[in-house]
Every structure is written in C-alpha cells, then in structure tokens.
Amino acid sequence: MTPGTLQTIFQIIILVGIIITGIGGFGSYHYGKKATAIKNEKQQENQQATNSKLDKILESIGSDNKTKLLEKYQAGYVLFGIDLSTTFSSEAFPHRKEVLTEYEFDWGKVKIEKLTSTSITILMPDIRYKPLNAHFNGTYRTIPRRPLGKEYIYPVRPAGSLHRIFIELLNDNNQQLIFVIGFRKTE
C-alpha cells in the first residue's frame, strides 16, 4: 500500500470516529435529560406522598391548626415529622408552607436522640441563614412531650435577624411526632 492510500484509510477512520462521537454525544445529552426528568418526577411524587401524610396527620389534630400556626408564627413555619416505627433511624419530612426564604434546612440529619415517656431530645435540622451564610449544625433540643402545642425558643439566633425561631411539638401519637419550626418577628 502506498502512503497516499494509508492516509485516505486513516482519514476515513477519523471521519467514522467523529460520526460515532457525535452520535454518542447526542445520545448522552438526550438520555441524560430523560433520566433527569424521571428522577425529578419521582422526587415530586415522593414529596407529594410525604405532604399527603402530614396533611392527614394535621387534619387529625384539628382543621384550624394551619390558621392558628400562621397567627402564632406570622413570619412563617415549617412542619416536619418523624416516624418512630424504625427505632430512631427516622427521617424528617419537610412540609413547607409560608416559610421564610432567608433560611435553608437540611432535613437529612434530623433524628430522635433520646425518647422517654416525658421528653424528646431531637437532633434539629442543619439550618443556614442565607443573608450571612451562617450555619447552625448539630443543634440538639430537649422538649417535654406534654403539653402539646407549647413553644420553646430555638437555642440559636442569627446575628441581625429580625426573627426568633421556635420549636413546638404539635402531635405525639406514639407512632409519629409532628414538629413545627416557627418564625416570629421580635419586638
């Protein structure tokens, strides 16, 4: 074979490689978008199921609770629940309603640290106060199991924040605990 023939063969190989790369790039882009859409759809379904669970629990403790909570925590609140059926390896389910946009919660770390017949010690969600990029991680709060609906001041307050943070046990049915993190403007 002559060098010209070999050059032509290798140019054809390069052309085939470019075509295969283009097809691979398009396939990766196209199916990547489909995979992301499926993942987002599943996350949305999971969030809806979680919200439905919390809505049912909230309904079971009284239909006026949403209004009462907004009256009590004018700046907003977040509901979250912990399922006790899995021996303290429980997961928190945020149910966002009217929550302040200045805060971001990491619900992945929330768990019951200690549960007695009279009190609950909970590892609170990690909280980030966005205006200062201040993080409150690893905060524990012990509150009594009775009376329900009594608020307790959150032990940390971001510098410059006009709001106090409160935690309250809203429901305790020995299977699930429903908590409220509420925000109220300070005087």
pLDDT band at 56 (very low <50, low <70, confident <90, very high): low
Q: Which of 26-30, 123-127, 161-165 has the lowest mean pLDDT?
A: 161-165
pTM: 0.64
pLDDT, tens digit (0-9, with 9 covering 90-100), for 163-176: 888 999 988 887 77
CA-CA distance, 40 to 108, in Å (whole number)?
18
Calculate the CA dihedral of residues 74, 78, 84, 89 and round it to 10 degrees: -140
CA-CA distance, 167 to 181, in Å (whole number)?
5
Residue 45's alpha-carbon distances to 3, 36, 40, 59, in angstroms, are: 62, 14, 9, 21
Residue 89 has pLDDT above 50, yes or no: no
CA-CA distance, 181 to 117, in Å (whole number)?
22
pLDDT band at 93 (very low <50, low <70, confident <90, very high): low
Phi, psi of 75 (to 5 degrees): -80, -10
Q: Provide the pLDDT for residue 20.
A: 93
Q: Provide the pLDDT for residue 77.
A: 80
Report the 10 Å Cβ neighbour count for 93. Answer: 21
Is residue 159 classed exposed, middle or buried when 0-12, 13-18 and 19+ CB atoms within 10 A define those classes?
exposed
Report the 10 Å Cβ neighbour count for 82. Answer: 20
Is residue 75 classed exposed, middle or buried when 0-12, 13-18 and 19+ CB atoms within 10 A define those classes?
middle
**Which tokens is 133 given?**
């990029």
Q: Provide the pLDDT for residue 177.
A: 84
Mean pLDDT of 31-54: 80
